[in-house]
Amino acid sequence: MLTNDNPVVEPPGVNPENPNQPLPTTPSKRSVKAKKNDALDNIQELGTTEIPTAKTNIHVMTIIGQVEGHMVLPPQNKTTKYEHIMPQLVAIEQSPEIEGLLLLLNTVGGDVEAGLAIAEMISSMSKPSVSIVLGGGHSIGVPIAVSATYSFIVESATMTIHPIRLTGLVIGAPSSFDYLEKMQDRVNKFVADHSTISESKWKELLFKMGELSRDIGTSVAGKDAVRYGLINEIGGLSQAQNKLQELIKANKMPKGLKQ
């Protein structure tokens, strides 16, 4: 009788004690490295090791730094690119899961036409929107702030109001100044139409002398922005979220039942 003393070698991945149960797989070095890289990317981009995945019916959008127009700004500048914002606004309007827009502003202003384009799109949305001015909502940031359905500003924030400036080559002809005046009128009308400030008060703040050291105009603090009727209310994140949910609820009601 022949005997075989060699041990039986099971195929890879088979549990010798229970052949029907596969051995637990250990993650490969490549997958572990990929996860580490994802974590590092999150730290670099967001300052956190994981991204919150809570489901919400609100989309948060930031308007920060300079509003970039048709000219690309230097890479060291923090910018908001209108070609990035506009498709997002279209997607928000079309998405059935998103019911409201929360707009966070901390901007020094920027390109007038790009800023007005963003403001016009926000104001024409069928879904409710709420803006919060944090830090600053200067220059063309003012029309963006008032374009929302309801606006908030924190007490420490300011809004600089000044006439439109031109950069680069300007042809010294009457038509150039006529164009500049018409562009300023567009901004004036938009702000007056989307806030409770009167056009006369807005122009008074716009052309005030002695307030700004190197320009004409006014630096408006949080409480004054509310007092002038530029912004609806003093408040921060909690108040803005509550207001937006209130507007969302009202937007869902049949038109005849809305108060």
Residue 142: φ, ψ to 5°: -65, -50
Cα-based torsion angle of the residue sequence 53, 54, 55, 58 in order, rounded to the nearest 10 degrees: -100
- DSSP 3-state of 108: strand
Q: Catalytic one among 59, 138, 162, 194?
A: 162
Q: Which of 139, 147, 151, 195 is catalytic?
A: 139
In DSSP terms, 64 is beta-bridged to 106
Backbone angles phi, psi at 132, to 5 degrees: -125, 125
Residue 66 bridge partners (DSSP): 79, 109
Nearby residues of 120 by Cβ (< 8 Å), 6 or more positions away: 147, 190
Question: Active-site residue 139, yes or no?
Answer: yes
> Taking each helix axis from N to C terminus, what angle separates 82-94 and 112-123, rounded to the nearest 10 degrees?
10
The CA angle 113-118-123, to the nearest 5 degrees, is 120
Catalytic residue ranges? 139, 162
